[in-house]
Structure 1
Amino acid sequence: MNSSHSKIFSSLRKSLPSDEIRLEPALLEKYAGDKWFASRIPDAVALPRSTESVAKLLKFATKNQIPVTPRGAGFGYVGGCVPVQGGIVLSLERMNRIKEIHEDDFVAEVEPGVITQKLQDAVEKKGLFYPPDPASRADCSIGGNIATNAGGPRCLKYGVTRDYVLGLEVVLADGSVVKLGSRTHKNKTGFDFSRLFVGSEGMLGVVTQATLKLIPLPPYRACLAIGFAAMKEAIKTLRTILHTGFLPCALEVADAFTLAAARQRTRSKRLNGCNAHLIVELDGQEASVRREIQILLKVVKSQNPLFIEKGLGPDQCEAIWKIRREFSYSLRDTGLTKLNQDIVVPRGRLEDLFRFTAGLQKKHGFPVACFGHAGDGNIHVNVMVDLDQPDATKRCNAALDELFRQVLDWNGVITGEHGIGLAKKPWWPLATSPAVRELHSRIKRALDPAGILNPGKFV
């Protein structure tokens, strides 16, 4: 850090509590990136405890033209919180209070640093339910979920994070604080600004409090795990389930490479010869779920699967989901680098997608592992790369380019959950029209005219 920077941050520290601006080299390195491969050591890390501190910090940063990169728990997969221009990383982790859970209003008031699973556990003790369930829910924060509009398996039935945001407190780039939305479950008072900030990846403002919608907790769950000899049979069964009139709370699929890795890790004999796998979960009142799971069982048996495993109640359901939670770890066990692409295709294109990724694997020489949220077409296409091979990065980018172009040709999208960040920035112009990019830029200029918030990303 040069002397001018040192003077600037010394001035900032005078206006904030002494431990809220940190300059220690080891700490700076800790906040240099997320789960993606890029990193940049910031000049300072801010760890505020209050909206007032965030407001002072952003006002100071705008006045002094200092880049500020907001950050949740750092569990993103696209480099969204990499401070590419240095400056200050603004971590909201200390603002981690659940301020209120109102059982009659079905509302939670939380700070952005609250861990998602902590909120879910707290509301479920009161018979309430916060459905969004990203895979990293034990580690990721509500603020990060809002910044990326996180989803998860249950979004098939219940929707994603934006569907549960009733109101937000946001600090804008100039330090002004705005309170958006309300704590009511319906509101048409002016523009829906709360949703503008959901999925904005820290480029429009900093969320310091969220009012979240809760719903009644379904009292019972039941699951089926189903194995198939071929992916074509799994997709046919998926279609049959939905066309029979079921709306599962989750409907997950996995391909042969993923299952082979999981079999190696878990030693599961059941997965022998299994080249495709579905998990279907129903929830609701116990009597109705027990009845529906029996009907669903008959529907699935008519498709001649290799096996069906039934789980009734939370313990048996969690035992079924345990293998799903092993998929990412199993792929890491291969020793290859997993490049996770959260593409989404129209549901009718799922079979085409799996056929295409098989061809992609043969053409470019990389294993491709696909699993994820089949019910809404959001499949995690994992290109498995040995980065020590010559030209691995170049070949990998060619494979990704081909994948994204095909997904867009099918009227799909290049990201359903993770965001654009840095990882997908090269394909942002491909995924959007010039008019749409200009609209993003106009909104960015209106809310952050100095361009200090998360600079260097897609807007």
Structure 2
Amino acid sequence: MSQASSAWSSSLNTNNPIPPSIPELSNGFRRVLAHIAGDGRLLTDPADCWAYGYDNSRRHALPQAVVFASDEEQILQLVSLCRDAGVPLTARGRGTGTTGATVPDRGGVVLSLERMDRILQIIPEDRLAIVQPGVLNAQLQQAVGDLGFFWPPDPTSAATCTIGGNLAYNSAGPRAVKYGTARESTLGLRVVTGRGEALRTGVMTTKGVVGYDLTRLIIGSEGTLAIITEATLKLTPLPETKRTLRATYKDIHAAAAAVSAIMAQPIIPCALEFMDASAIATVRHYAEFDLPDGAGAALMIELDGSAACIEESVSAVCAAARNAGLLELRRAESKEEIAALWKTRKALSPTLRHIAPKKINEDVVVPVSRMGEFIEGLEQLSQSTGIRIVNFGHAGNGNIHVNLLIDPDDPDEVARAAECLDAVFALVLRLDGTLSGEHGVGIEKRDFVGQELGPTALALMADIKRCFDPAGILNAGKGFPSP
């Protein structure tokens, strides 16, 4: 078993209480912390802090204190206190991440940003919104939607995830195939670095090349460089209309060929999702769906645009979707039909959680042209390791959610799953892909990062970390393997 696999396997059932090696916070530190936090904004009782030590991964660790952020000045004081005392500080939104990035596995203080939840300004004529990090994605979408706009990132957890978390992970969702990720939809930030300094990055305009692009550097850094206190977001006008299609194929190769053909023509779908044969079989086992017999893969296709041009777009995409392996191409004509077509895809995640509550959910990306080769490789790995693998995701940009369904109480299966995961990552890199598309690295993937990044890149990134956070207090130990 590789070192990375061993580290992953040994952590699978860990609840991660504070290890004895983590020192208690001094009385002096606690007094200053209470003063900085203010009334009603500090938790220190372990029973109260416990709820802030998790995210949507298998991991959970107890912080020694939780502070609820009120404003940037308070965060500046808190960072300076933790910097001088060498106390780890972990920023947290609503805990919807899946990689353990907000789990305080080194103890210290959790900084919850959930109460900094104000939409500060919406400027329709400049197509931008200025928000605090605790604003929910769905809350922002509602506010700007009333003015005829949307913010492109639309993760599945939009109803509960925060804008700050979306930026920390560079989250995207189905619309990224057409509209890009959080990086492409953010103009600037206000942050507090690990030095205890406030910093404004970016611009209020859609063009700007003065200095290095610190905005894009901080987005996706998972709170290891700076804590976001405000974001200036680029808004996109809502399309006039949408059309929804579902294409069903005899196998993944036919579906992958269709994805390549769709992405090679001028019309870009606003969503292009896929399910492989295992995903279809999984859902069918628990519910009735009207997919044709022999379905080995399915694509959900959504198009948006002007009412005058939408039918031409539909025709072009339908033509690209047709090949010898196509079994059925359906088009929704009403809200009820749209809901029916999406039913299969939306039922998948809950079904998988029912089958394997502690499934391994990996988020990888391969070039669209190699997606069929990747799924075929996963099928071979499933057969050779005896680990059931179910795949679905964002086919338009090759972002595949690879789900390993295992029993975490079976040591042999856990060991085989670890070897299988190693092989999955090796396959991704062999196909010129990347180990994380939108879920981040956190704890779950940090021991695998060296497989993708060379020593020169890792050393340079370590230097950047020291420049932003010389005391190493911000989300310590996340994102990169230990030296």
Alignment check: 8 A CA contact 2:92 2:113 kept: yes
1:279 and 2:300 correspond: yes
Q: 1:271 to 1:173 in 2, by over 3 A?
A: farther
Aligned to 2:364: 343
- TM-score scaled by structure 2? 0.91
> Which residue number in structure 1 is paired with residue 221 of structure 2?
200
Q: Secondary structure at the match of 1:263?
A: helix
CA contact (8 A) 1:336 1:385 kept: no
Cα RMSD of the aligned pairs, angstroms, is: 1.8
**Which residue matches 2:10?**
none
Deviation track 1:127-184 (CA, whole Å, cap 9, x = no partner) reads 1121111111111111011111011111111100000110100011232211111211
Task: Give the Cα separation in 1 of the matches to 2:389 and 2:60.
Answer: 26
User: How far is the alpha carbon of 1:217 from its aligned partner?
Assistant: 1.1
The one of 203, 208, 213 aligned to 1:182: 203
| Residues 284-334 of structure 1 deviation map (CA, whole Å, 9 limit, x = unaligned) | 011211232134334435545222221247664444334322211111222
Identity %: 37
Q: Which amino acid aligns with 1:172?
A: T
Q: What CA distance in whole angstroms lies between the structure 2 residues aligned with 1:125 and 1:230?
A: 42
Tell whether the 8 Å contact from 1:167 to 1:194 is kept in structure 2 after alignment: yes
Q: Structure 1: how far apart are the matches of 2:154 and 2:403?
A: 20
- Are 2:127 and 1:129 aligned? no
Q: Does 1:363 align with 2:384?
A: yes
Whether the 8 Å CA contact 2:190–2:228 is kept in 1: the answer is yes
Counterpart among 387, 394, 397 of residue 418 in structure 2: 397
422, 445, 449: which one aligns with 1:428: 449
Task: Tell me, in whole angstroms, the C-alpha distance in 1 between the residues paired with 2:162 and 2:36.
Answer: 27
Secondary structure of the residue aligned to 1:306 is: strand
Contact residue 226 and residue 277 of structure 1 kept, 8 A? yes
Q: Name structure 2 gaps, 5 residues minimum.
A: 1-17
Aligned to 1:103: 124
Does structure 2 retain, via aligned residues, the 8 Å contact 1:100–1:109? Answer: yes
Q: Which residue number in structure 1 is paired with residue 282 of structure 2?
A: 261
Conservation of the 8 A alpha-carbon contact between 1:263 and 1:271:
no
Instruction: Say if 2:52 and 2:63, in contact at 8 Å, map to a contact too.
Output: yes
How many residues matched? 459
Q: Which runs of 5+ in 1 are unaligned?
A: none
* Aligned 1:434-449 pairs, distance under 5 A: 434-449=455-470
Are residues 264 and 63 of structure 1, via their aligned partners in 2, closer, same or farther at CA, if it must alter by over 3 Å?
A: same
Is 2:275 the counterpart of 1:236?
Answer: no
Q: Which stretch of the first structure deviates more once superposed, 339-348 or 390-399?
A: 390-399
Contact 2:259 2:368 survives alignment (8 Å): no
Shift of residue 415 of structure 1? 0.5
Amino acid at match of 2:478: K
1:416 paired residue among 427, 437, 447: 437
1:47 aligns with 2:43: no
For 2:473, the equivalent position in structure 1 comes to 452
Pairing 1:22–2:43 present: yes
**Structure 2 residue aligned with 1:92:** 113
Contact 1:255-1:276 within 8 A present in 2 as well: yes
Q: Aligned pair 1:166/2:187, yes or no?
A: yes
**Paired amino acid for 2:138:** Q
Matching residue within 243, 246, 257 for 1:225: 246
SS at match of 2:411: coil
Is the counterpart of residue 406 in structure 1 residue 427 in structure 2?
Answer: yes
Q: Does 1:115 align with 2:136?
A: yes
Q: Secondary structure at the match of 1:369?
A: strand
The one-letter code of the counterpart of 2:144 is: V
Tell me the amino acid that sits aligned with residue 343 of structure 1.
V
**What is the identity, as a one-letter code, of the residue corresponding to 1:308?**
L
C-alpha separation in 2, matches of 1:4 and 1:246: 57
**Matched residue type, 1:30:** A
Which residue of the partner structure matches residue 308 of structure 1? Answer: 329
Q: Which amino acid aligns with 1:359?
A: Q
- 1: distance between equivalents of 2:323 and 2:276? 21
